[in-house]
Structure formats: structure tokens, C-alpha cells
């Protein structure tokens, strides 16, 4: 977890989530929504704000709703922590801007200089989105498009006081330019604006401290997960055995004012726990927040990963380590969710039939598993997003992060269906499919079946694809070396694609009609050959394993389509994918699956290398340029985030919660102003 290679890997995992969100594709009406549900909320800079629905909320029992409510409150109380972790001036900047924005002089400010005011409003929206003053994804500081003079004068006019130290931090491009730097040859700690280390702490000092405190036991403590390292000489905190001291995130410690509230609501949540396993995990989380004790954190992770039966689940605490330049300290995040029963049933059906899929795949019998076990992927519905999951959010979670716990106790891996659904719905009518799909008929097919195919392909990939097939005696998992992950992803994808077109899926009730799969096939080919290139900069090769695998499949099939099963045609100077024979396309997927399985089972490195180099890496520069130009014209915001629904507890005279109501009407600005008013316990300087 803590070396550079793993950090690069983790960063990629995160990118996947973000980019999956960025590359929106129009999809079908999988779940009926009331006509009035508004997915699109706001758009500014390169950001779009969406709203997500919480289907099946009404199917929760009262106890489960009470639990969701308490855990949601525990989630929202952590918001300030993330702002401060992202930079020590962030809370001061946010508060000064909010005070100005909410001042009674607002109308005067607006009318006296509308352009400066509009720029100021956009800046504040951006600060909320990024939980600070650096872009949430590129991590570069964004500069105000209003002048410092205007800001200073406006604050004076409105009677807003602020720490003048924020001015250079906001306006001077040279001050704190990068939130987390990964640049070679510079001091990563000194050159990162993030607040994981106190002022003046160097990378060498921090690394020496971690090295001296590292726990090498078989069940190691994650030293540094929940603390800030600061210089001992300018701090009143207890001195450890080096010149740095640790300020621990806990009640009574750093961020204690926020964690007190988190603990209060976790205690309330305990009252409504669904079972003893869940209760134990929440108790451990409370104890960890109160003591900061890392052994308790390990116990919490184990209790949490063992809690599989509860419908309601949550993440709450210092979790991912991407933002610490040394990859050790956790960033605060929270997400409350519950099991999506309909979707979970779908993955159970697939997994129950795992042996049938294995027996009927196109692979050579000697590479098949005699006994194959499907994995039942859990699909969840997000109920609230907070901290580092808000407003930008992952669409999948795989925790805990400690490798030894994953090995010994397993992990929970989930996809968040209602967020994916919101991306799809919000993208309807954004012009993407109109630009890139060949004709109305294909678009109509895709709008009808695209989403169901997407879900099902992911399910097949995860539940049976990766688990299928076997290695020949003596072949090890790492035989394909640097091409292993591309080949493995291609294998799982092809397994999914091949069976997506199998009548068995209609028979199992997973696909609504015999030609629904065509939507998934068209999308795979179009994406792999053309549209996924929008994520690649001109002149660059494809590097990411999933993108390589998609191009590998699409390209191989294209080159082997000797009967013109698929082709690329040109119309008015634009290129389009045309599928002439979907059954033929399925046969080609089957052929490639057999070959990729052979390469895997035999550990045939030379063949893997040739396959990847020939089909997966290089990009046709003219086509690439054309795709980029067409995409740019659509003017789509590459990054998306959400507003949360509002939960209201209905209470009786004794204060007991008798019902929980959900409301979706709150807008982006109102939500953030409310959060800053109701959930902002931290002082300006922590």
C-alpha cells in the first residue's frame, strides 16, 4: 500500500471511477422514474452537478430508515475535516466567501459589478465541489477570475472580516500551487498543499518518522493512518522519540470537535443496528474515534467486513490514502448505503449458473474448471455521500485497504447502482449518441437496452468471468508479466460478451428480449474502436489495462471480420461503426475468448505480448483527432458530482424518531450553505 508502485495502482483504481463517470453514455429506462425527477442540477467550469434517486428507500423497515438517518448525520458532520485535510487555509477561505455570499449587501454587490460577482459565485461553487481551493482531480490550484481588489473591497463593504493570510493563498499562483504533488525529484511533502504534515516538515523527516514507527508484525497497525505529523518544537503536543510529533485525529485530539458529533450519531445508530455483527462494527468505530487506537481500527475493519447480512451499510472515517503525498494518512469520507435487492438477485442468478457458463464457453475443455464457483457481487444504493465521496464520488467501493485483513478476512466489493443510473439518465439527450452512433435504429436499440446490457456485462465479468478457466500445471499467475492485467481483463470481458448474446440469459429472465444484446455489442465495438479515445491525449498511447483490453477486443474482431461482420464507414467526413452481422460478431468474440484463455492457461507470454502490442496500445492518429474534435463540440462537462437528498426525522413528543422522510428538491448552493451552517464544528485553524 505504501510504495510507489502500489500508489500508482491505487491512483488508477480511482481514475477508473472518475472517468467512468466522465464518459457518460446514454442508456435505457431500466427503472421507471417519475417524470418529474430532475437529474441535472447545475453546470460550471468543467463540472456538472447531478441528483441521484434513492429507489427502494420506501422498502426499508422503519428501523432501517432510522439507521440510515443516524448514519447520514454521522456522515455530514465530517465535512469540515476534509476541507482542512485538503489545505490549512481552506476553512478560512470557504467561510470568508460564504459570509460575503450571504451578506445583506448581496444585491448591491451583484448589481454594482455583475461580472466580478458572477466570477466570485462560480469560484465559491468550485470551492465547495473541491472541498478546498485545488481541483478535485488535477489537484492544481484554481485561481479566482475576480480580482483581489474587488474581493477586498466587497468584504469591507459587506463587513466581512477574514484572516489576510488567505489572500496570497487564493490569488497568488505561486503559493500552494498543487494539492498533492507526485513530481519526481521534488520534496513531495513540502510541495504539497495538503495538510497531512505540519508546516516545514520535509519528506525525509516524515519518511524517517514512519520508518522508525513502522509495525512489522503479522497483523500490523497502520501507523500514521489517523494523524498529522508536525514539528515538535512548535507544538505543545506530547513528544515522541523523534523531532516530529503525531497529532492524532480523535475526540479530544485533532478534529475532535467534528468527531464528537460523528460519535454522537454513531451511538444513536447503535440503537437501530440490524444485528449483532453490525452492532459490533459500529461500536468499534465509535471506540476508534474516541481513542485513535489503531488496534481498535483493525478490529473495526474485521468486524465490518464480517457484517454481510445487514441491508444497511456504511463507510465512515479515514479511508483512502491517495491525497497524502506519502500514501499513508487516510482522507475522511463517508457513504451510507443499502443493498439493492433487485440487482443483487440478478448477480445471484448468474452466480448460481456459474457451472453452466463454464461448460458452455468456447474455451478448450482442458482449460475449463471442473468445479467453478460464482461470486455474488453486491449492488448497493447510496443514501448519502460525504467527505471525500462528495460531491464527486466513486461508483464502486472495495474495502478495507489493509492487505493482511483482505487476505485473512476478505473484503467487501460493491457497485453503486443508483449513481451509475443517475449518470446515464443525466446524459440522455447530451448529444453523445447522436454524434457517434450510426443511425436512429441503433440509437433506439441502445436507449432501450443499453443500460441493462451494461449492468449484465459487468455482472458476468465480475461474477463468472474472472473466476472461469484454469491454469495448466506449472503455470503461475504472473507468467504474462506486464501484460497480465490487460489479458485478464480481456478474458473476463470476452466471457461476458460471449454470454451476453446467449439465449440462456433471456431464459433466465436476465435479458428482456433476444436481440437486446445487440445494444451491448454495438457499444463495446464503438467504445473500443472509437469513443474511448476521448480520454487519451493526442499523440499518447493507451496505457490503462481496462482501456487496452477494450481496444484489444474491438481491434482484433475488426481485423478478423473477414465477412464484414463489422466495418467502419465514412459519411460526410465522419467515421462510424457499422455492425452487419451480430451473430457473426458473437462468433468472433467466442474465437478470441478461446485464444485468450489458451494464452492464460498456458502462460504464453510471447503470444500475450504480441496480442497486446498489435491490438491494444497504438492509436490511429487521424481517427483519434477526429473523435476528439467531435467530442469537444458537444461541450460536455468531464467531471460530475452530486447533491444529496435531504432526510428529515419525524419525532414524537418524547423525541423518538417515528418516521424518516426523504426529499430531493434541495439545490447545489442551498445544500452547501446549509451544510456550512448546520454541520461546521471545526475552528478556522486546526
Residues that bind Zn ion (CB under 5 A): 489, 492
* Helical pair 484-500 and 440-460, crossing angle rounded to 10 deg: 120
Quote the least distance from Cβ 159 to Zn ion, whole Å.
Answer: 56
Asked whether 8 and 328 are in contact (CB, 8 A), the reply is: no
For 185-210, letters b (16+ CB in 10 Å) and e give eebbbbbbbbbbbbeebebebbeebb
Which of 135/546 has CB closer to Zn ion? 546
Closest among 358, 617, 622, 571 to 464, alpha carbons compared = 358
- Nearest residue (CB) to Zn ion, 550 versus 630: 550
Nearest distance in Å: CB 461, Zn ion: 6
Q: Considering the complex, state which of residue 7 and residue 457 has its C-beta at the smaller distance from Zn ion.
A: 457
List of E strands, 27-172: 40-44, 47-51
CB of 579 to Zn ion, least distance (A): 24
The dihedrals phi and psi of 217, each to the nearest 5 degrees, come to: -70, 165
CB of residue 495 vs Zn ion: minimum separation in angstroms?
Answer: 10
Query: Which among 244, 50, 45 is positioned nearest to 643, based on CA atoms?
Result: 50
Nearer to Zn ion, 266 or 497 (CB): 497
List CB contacts of 627: < 8 A, sequence separation 6 or more: 530, 531, 533, 534
Cα distance between residue 496 and residue 58, in whole Å: 33
Q: How far is the CB of 492 from Zn ion (least distance, A)?
A: 5
Q: What's the closest the beta carbon of residue 486 comes to Zn ion, in angstroms?
A: 11
- Of the two residues 78 and 496, which places its CB atom closer to Zn ion in the complex? 496
Least distance from Zn ion to the Cβ atom of residue 304, Å: 24
Q: CB nearer to Zn ion: give 310 or 549.
A: 549
Residue 603 φ/ψ, nearest 5 degrees: 65, 40
Residue nearer to Zn ion on the CB measure, 384 or 460: 460
Give the alpha-carbon dihedral of 168, 170, 176, 180, to 10 degrees: 170
Q: How far is CA 343 from the centre of its chain?
A: 19
Q: What residues form DSSP beta bridges with 387?
A: 333
CB of 549 to Zn ion, least distance (A): 8
* CB of 459 or CB of 604, closer to Zn ion: 459
Angle at 523 between CA 569 and CA 486, to 5 degrees: 105
| Of 492 and 516, CB closest to Zn ion | 492
428/466 with CB nearer Zn ion: 466
Query: Least distance from C-beta 466 to Zn ion, angstroms?
Result: 6
Closer Cβ to Zn ion, 425 or 489, answer by number: 489
Return the number of the residue (379 or 643) whose C-beta is nearest Zn ion. Answer: 379
- Cα four-point dihedral sign 125, 127, 130, 131: negative
Judged by beta carbon, residue 316 or residue 458, the one nearer Zn ion is: 458
> What CA–CA distance (Å, rounded) separates 676 from 79?
9
Task: Judge contact between 591 and 557, C-beta under 8 A.
Answer: no
CB-based contacts of 403: which residues, under 8 Å, 6+ apart? Answer: 1
CB atoms near residue 211 (< 10 Å): 8
Residue count of the chain: 686
Strands 566-571 and 396-399: unpaired
Q: Are 241 and 49 in contact (CB under 8 A)?
A: no
Q: How far apart are CA 485 and CA 546, in angstroms?
A: 8
Question: Closest CB to Zn ion belongs to which residue?
Answer: 492
**How near is the Cβ of 485 to Zn ion at its closest, in Å?**
9
Quick one: which of 49, 157, 83 has its CA closest to 670? 49
Q: What span, in angstroms and rounded, lies between the C-alpha atoms of 561 and 84?
A: 56
Closer residue to Zn ion, CB minimum distance, 240 or 375: 375
Q: Tell me, letter by letter, the H, E, C secondary structure of 477-513.
A: CCCCHHHHHHHHHHHHHHHHHHHHCCHHHHHCCCCCC
> Would you say 492 or 636 has its CB closer to Zn ion?
492
> Is residue 661 classed as helix, strand or coil in its secondary structure?
strand
Pairing relationship of beta strands 40-44 and 574-579 according to DSSP bridges: unpaired
Nearer to Zn ion, 383 or 490 (CB): 490
Least separation in angstroms between CB 566 and Zn ion: 24
Q: Write down the least CB distance from residue 305 to Zn ion, Å.
A: 21
CB of 600 to Zn ion, least distance (A): 13
**Nearest distance from C-beta of residue 190 to Zn ion, angstroms:** 38
What is the full DSSP assignment across 90-107?
HHHHHHHHHHHHTSTTHH
Q: Which of 484, 470, 390, 501 is CA-nearest to residue 51?
A: 390
Cα Rg of the chain, angstroms: 26
Rounded to the nearest whole angstrom, what is the least distance from the CB of residue 529 to Zn ion in the complex?
Answer: 20
| Residue that has been written with the C-alpha cell 440478478 in this structure | 346
- Give min distance, CB of 420 to Zn ion, in A: 16
Distance from C-alpha of 47 to C-alpha of 128, rounded to nearest angstrom: 12
Q: Taking the mean position of all CA atoms in its chain, how far away is CA 309? A: 24
Neighbours of 576 (CB within 10 A): 17
Q: How far is the CB of 518 from Zn ion (least distance, A)?
A: 23
Closer to Zn ion at the Cβ: 527 or 644? 527
Contact in structure between 565 and 579 (CB atoms under 8 Å): yes
Amino acid at each position: 500500500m505504501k510504495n510507489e508502485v502500489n500508489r500508482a495502482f491505487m491512483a488508477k483504481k480511482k481514475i477508473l471511477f472518475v472517468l467512468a463517470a466522465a464518459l457518460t453514455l446514454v442508456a435505457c429506462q431500466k427503472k421507471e422514474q417519475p417524470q418529474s425527477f430532475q437529474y441535472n442540477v447545475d453546470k460550471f467550469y468543467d463540472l456538472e452537478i447531478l441528483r441521484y434517486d434513492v429507489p427502494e428507500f420506501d422498502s426499508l423497515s422503519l428501523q432501517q430508515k432510522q439507521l440510515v438517518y443516524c448514519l447520514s448525520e454521522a456522515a455530514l458532520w465530517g465535512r469540515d475535516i476534509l476541507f482542512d485535510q485538503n489545505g490549512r487555509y481552506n476553512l478560512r477561505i470557504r467561510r470568508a466567501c460564504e459570509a460575503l455570499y450571504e451578506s445583506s449587501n448581496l444585491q448591491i454587490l451583484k448589481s454594482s459589478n455583475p461580472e466580478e460577482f458572477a466570477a466570485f459565485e462560480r469560484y465559491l461553487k468550485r470551492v465547495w465541489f473541491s472541498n478546498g481551493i485545488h481541483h478535485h482531480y488535477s489537484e492544481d490550484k484554481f485561481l479566482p477570475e475576480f480580482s483581489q481588489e474587488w474581493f477586498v473591497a466587497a468584504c469591507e463593504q459587506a463587513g466581512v472580516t477574514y484572516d489576510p493570510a488567505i489572500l496570497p493563498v487564493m490569488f497568488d499562483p505561486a503559493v500552494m500551487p498543487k494539492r498533492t504533488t507526485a513530481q519526481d525529484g521534488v520534496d513531495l511533502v513540502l510541495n504539497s498543499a495538503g495538510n497531512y504534515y505540519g508546516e516545514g516538515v520535509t519528506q525525509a523527516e516524515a519518511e524517517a518518522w514512519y520508518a522508525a514507527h513502522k509495525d512489522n508484525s503479522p497483523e500490523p497497525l497502520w501507523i500514521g493512518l489517523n494523524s498529522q505529523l508536525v514539528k515538535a518544537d512548535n507544538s505543545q503536543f506530547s513528544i515522541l522519540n523523534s523531532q516530529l510529533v503525531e497529532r492524532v485525529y480523535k475526540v479530544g485530539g485533532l478534529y475532535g470537535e467534528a468527531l464528537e458529533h460523528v460519535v454522537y450519531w454513531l451511538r444513536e445508530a447503535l440503537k437501530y443496528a440490524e444485528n449483532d455483527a453490525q452492532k459490533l462494527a459500529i461500536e468499534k468505530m465509535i471506540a476508534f474515534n474516541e481513542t485513535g487506537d489503531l488496534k481498535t481500527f483493525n478490529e473495526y475493519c474485521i468486524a465490518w467486513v464480517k457484517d454481510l447480512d445487514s441491508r444497511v451499510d456504511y463507510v465512515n472515517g479515514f479511508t483512502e490514502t491517495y491525497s497524502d503525498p506519502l500514501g499513508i494518512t487516510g482522507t475522511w469520507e463517508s457513504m451510507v448505503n443499502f443493498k439493492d435487492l433487485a440487482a443483487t438477485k440478478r448477480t445471484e442468478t448468474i452466480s448460481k449458473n456459474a457451472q453452466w457458463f463454464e461448460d458452455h464457453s468456447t474455451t478448450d475443455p482442458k482449460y475449463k474448471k471442473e468445479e467453478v464457483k460464482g461470486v455474488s457481487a453486491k449492488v448497493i444504493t447510496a443514501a448519502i455521500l460525504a467527505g471525500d465521496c462528495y460531491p464527486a464520488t466513486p461508483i464502486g467501493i472495495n474495502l478495507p485497504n489493509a492487505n493482511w485483513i483482505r487476505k485473512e478476512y476478505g473484503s467487501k466489493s460493491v457497485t453503486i447502482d443508483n449513481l451509475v443510473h443517475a449518470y446515464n439518465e443525466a446524459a440522455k439527450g447530451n448529444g453523445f449518441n447522436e454524434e457517434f452512433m450510426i443511425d436512429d435504429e441503433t440509437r433506439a436499440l441502445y436507449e432501450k437496452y443499453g443500460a441493462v446490457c451494461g449492468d449484465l456485462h459487468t455482472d458476468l465479468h465480475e461474477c463468472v468471468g474472472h473466476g472461469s478457466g484454469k491454469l495448466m500445471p506449472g503455470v503461475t499467475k504472473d507468467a504474462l508479466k506486464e501484460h497480465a492485467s490487460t489479458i485478464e481483463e480481456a478474458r473476463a470481458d470476452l466471457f461476458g460478451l460471449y454470454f451476453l448474446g446467449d439465449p440462456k440469459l433471456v431464459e433466465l429472465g436476465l435479458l428482456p428480449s433476444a436481440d437486446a444484446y445487440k445494444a451491448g455489442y454495438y457499444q463495446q465495438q464503438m467504445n473500443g474502436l472509437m469513443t474511448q479515445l476521448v480520454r487519451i491525449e493526442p499523440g499518447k498511447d493507451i496505457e490503462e489495462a481496462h482501456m487496452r483490453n477494450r481496444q484489444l477486443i474491438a481491434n482484433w474482431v475488426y481485423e478478423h471480420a473477414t465477412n464484414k461482420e463489422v466495418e467502419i464507414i465514412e459519411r460526410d467526413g465522419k467515421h462510424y461503426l457499422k455492425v452487419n452481422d451480430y451473430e457473426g460478431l458473437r462468433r468472433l468474440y467466442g474465437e478470441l475468448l478461446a485464444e485468450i484463455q489458451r494464452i492464460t492457461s498456458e502462460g504464453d507470454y510471447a503470444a500475450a505480448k504480441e496480442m497486446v502490442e498489435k491490438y491494444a496500445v497504438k492509436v490511429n492518429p487521424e481517427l483519434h483527432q477526429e473523435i476528439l474534435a467531435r467530442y469537444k463540440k458537444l461541450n460536455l462537462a468531464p467531471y460530475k458530482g452530486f447533491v444529496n437528498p435531504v432526510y428529515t426525522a419525524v419525532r414524537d413528543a418524547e423525541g423518538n424518531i417515528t418516521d424518516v422522510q426523504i426529499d430531493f428538491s434541495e439545490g447545489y448552493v442551498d445544500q452547501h450553505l446549509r451544510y456550512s451552517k448546520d454541520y461546521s464544528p471545526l475552528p478556522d485553524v486546526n
